[in-house]
Amino acid sequence: MPFSRRIAVYALAASALLAGATASSAFSKLGREDGSLPTEDGVIATPLPPLAQPGSKQPEAKPQNDAANPRADQPAAQSAPANSDPTTTGATSEPPPAAATPDASTPPTAAQPGETAPSEDGEDAAPADEGAEKGTDPAASQQATPQEPVGPPPDVVYGEEGLPGPVRDLRAKLIEIAKSGDIEKLRPYIEAGDDGTVLSFGGVQGDPIEYLKSSSGDGEGVETLAILLEVLEAGHIRNEPNTENEIYVWPYFSGLAIDKLTKPQKVELFELVTAGDYQEMVGFGAYNFYRVGISPDGKLQFFVAGD
C-alpha cells in the first residue's frame, strides 16, 4: 500500500476512535446536579462500566442464589477461627447429642453403702446396708453361750420323796457303795454299749472301772466315790416328766440358772465345788460338775462331769 493511503487509513481510524470515546464520555456524564439520571425517550441512561485496562483480569461472576448471597434478614454463618479445632468449637450446625436413655436390659448400678437404692418400680428403697462399710459381720457379734433353762424352774426334792421304787432302790445302793470306798462294786450297775451308762461325753475306751480310777485324784477311785455320795445326798429334779425321756437328776443345780442361786443354795453347791469353781460356772453359764441320772426303771443312765 502506498504510504499516503496508509496515512489516510490511520487518520480515519483515529477519527472513529475519538468519536466513539467522545460519545461514550458524553453519555456517561448525563445527569443532574443532585445525582439523579434523566430519561430520554423512555430509556434510563446508566453509567458505563470502566474499560478494562490491557492485561488486567476480569472478576468472575458469582452465581446468584440464596446460598451464595443470603438476604439481609438472614444471619450470616460465623466462621471458626483459622487456628481452632473444628471438633472443639461450637460453630458446627449439628445439634448436640441427646441424653442416653437407660436400656431395660442393662442391670441397675448397685447402691453404695449409705445411698438409697432405687427399686424396680422407681420408688426409693431402704438405704443400703451400712454393715459392709463399717466392715462388721453381724454373725461375729453373736457368741455361743449355753442355753438357760426355759420356763419355770423345776421342783427341787430331797431324799426319797416322790421317787419311783426302782429309782429309790438304785439310789440307796449307790450310796451304800460310795460309803464302802470300794469302787469295784459299781461294776454291776455300769452298763456297756451305745445305750449304756455314760461316764464321759467323749466316750470311754477300755474298762470303765479303770477309767473311774484314773479320773480320781487318789488313783484308786476313792475321791470319785466321795463325789458320788455328795451328789446323791443333794436335792434332785425330775426332767421331762411323763415322757419317754423322763429321768431323775442329782444335784438339782444342773436344772437351775447358775447365776440365780440363792445363798442357801450356794451353801449346798459349795459342798461339792469351791467358790472359784462357781465363778467359772457363772462365766460358762451353767453347772458343769458331776451329776447322776437314773431312769424310772432303775437304770444308771450317767455319772459324768461337764455339760
Burial of 164 per CB tally in 10 Å (0-12, 13-18, 19+) = middle
First to last CA, the chain: 154
What letter does residue 118 receive in the DSSP assignment? E
What 3-state DSSP class applies to 229?
helix
The Cα 184–Cα 186 span in angstroms is: 5
Higher pLDDT, 9 or 143: 9
The Cα 229–Cα 177 span in angstroms is: 9
Mean pLDDT comparison of 50-54, 150-154, 269-273, highest-scoring range: 269-273
Chain segment 68-125, per-residue pLDDT in tens: 444 444 444 444 444 444 444 444 445 555 554 445 444 445 445 445 444 445 455 4
Least confident range from 94-108, 166-180, 202-216: namely 94-108
Least confident range from 11-15, 144-148, 274-278, 291-295: namely 144-148
- For the chain, give the mean pLDDT: 72
What 3-state DSSP class applies to 43?
strand
Q: How confident is the model at residue 306 (pLDDT cuts 50, 70, 90)?
A: confident
Q: What is the pLDDT of residue 11?
A: 58
Which residue in 67, 271, 260, 279 sits closest to 149, CA to CA?
Answer: 260
Mean pLDDT comparison of 3-12, 22-31, 64-73, 203-212, highest-scoring range: 203-212
On the question of a cis peptide bond just before residue 54, with omega within 30 degrees of 0, the verdict is no
Higher pLDDT, 103 or 160: 160
Q: What is the pLDDT of residue 33?
A: 53
The Cα 162–Cα 155 span in angstroms is: 11
Dihedral of the alpha carbons of 179, 180, 185, 188, in degrees to the nearest 10 = -40
Chain segment 242-285, per-residue pLDDT in tens: 999 999 999 999 999 999 999 999 999 999 999 999 999 999 99
Amino acid sitting at position 154: P
Q: What is the pLDDT of residue 297?
A: 96
The Cα 46–Cα 4 span in angstroms is: 42
The Cα 40–Cα 94 span in angstroms is: 56
Higher pLDDT, 63 or 247: 247
CB 175 within 8 A of CB 234: no
Q: What is the pLDDT of residue 128?
A: 44
Q: What pTM, to 2 d.p., does this model score? A: 0.52
Higher pLDDT, 77 or 237: 237
